[in-house]
Amino acid sequence: MDKRLAAGVGIAIGVILGVGGWYAWRMRTAPAPVVPARTVPLPPVAEAPAPPPPAAPAIQHPVSPPAASAPAAATLDTAALAELLGQKAVLSFLQTDAFVSRLVATIDNLPRPHAAPRLWPINPTPGRFGTEVGGDGELVAVRNAQRYAPFVRFVEGIDTPRAVALYRQHYARFQESYADLGYPRGYFNDRLVEVIDHLLATPELTSTPRVRLTEVKGPQPMTQPWLHYEYADPALESLSSGQKILIRMGPDNARRLKAKLAEFRRLVAAGAAAR
């Protein structure tokens, strides 16, 4: 083979080998062609159903509605209260304006640390809270219980069955006032029984409790100090407003009021129609 033919054959072989080698390298290093993925439609996702609203609490102590033959309930006003309690007693002891709203709010607050006096359905007890000095410091004065004696006699004189009948007759108004406090799903009679049980659980003291003036920090002198006493015993001071009121009234008054509360509870908890 002459030199030109050999050179041509060599060039041709080199080109073939070179092209083959380049193609092989490209096959080894080039990324695989991208194959578009098939789009598989996903099944529709069903939305989770909204949770049902919480069920209304079960009524524990239902108040049966008045009989169909009973006359329609009039407004529970001063006249209706006076018929039950007597005109003089109503004027002496009760705040008759918005009486039902006051009564419902106060009952709801008695198990709490504070029951605002401005909402009470009863007038403030005349006189001032009294103390006396004892061997253990400043004590609740024994004579202080006498201030509450007229009110206790007034409560003891209430005809409980008639009072429950009046309550039952006007129960819709009590329930409405309870809903207005922020308990649209609550049942007032259940709350009433709960609060009575709470008051009945008030501890009975065997000795006169010690008290002290509440510490008020600041340059202003304390006015009306008789309104700023607290129990020296932390266990007593941690009681609810209603339980502290009972203790403040003295052990004999507290026992008598508890007896009336227990009598009232038996009727409203049983759902019985008082006659």
The two structure tokens encoding residue 54: 């919480």
Res 183 pLDDT > 60: yes
Model confidence at 12, pLDDT cuts 50, 70, 90, reads very low
Average pLDDT over residues 251-267: 97
State the pLDDT at residue 22.
Answer: 32
- Domain ranges in the chain? 78-129+143-207+242-268
Higher pLDDT among residues 257 and 67, named by residue: 257
Task: Supply 160's token pair.
Answer: 């409980």
186 has a pLDDT exceeding 70: yes
Q: Is 202 within 8 Å of 247 (Cβ atoms)?
A: yes
Q: What percent of the chain has pLDDT over 90?
A: 59
- Pairing relationship of beta strands 211-213 and 229-231 according to DSSP bridges: antiparallel
Provide the pLDDT for residue 75: 73
pTM strictly above 0.85: no
pLDDT confidence of residue 46:
61
Between CA 146 and CA 265, with CA 154 as vertex, the angle to 5 degrees is: 110
Residue 266 DSSP code = H
Please determine, for residue 136, whether its predicted confidence score (pLDDT) is greater than 80. Answer: no
Average confidence (pLDDT) over 141-159 = 95
150 — pLDDT class (breaks 50, 70, 90):
very high
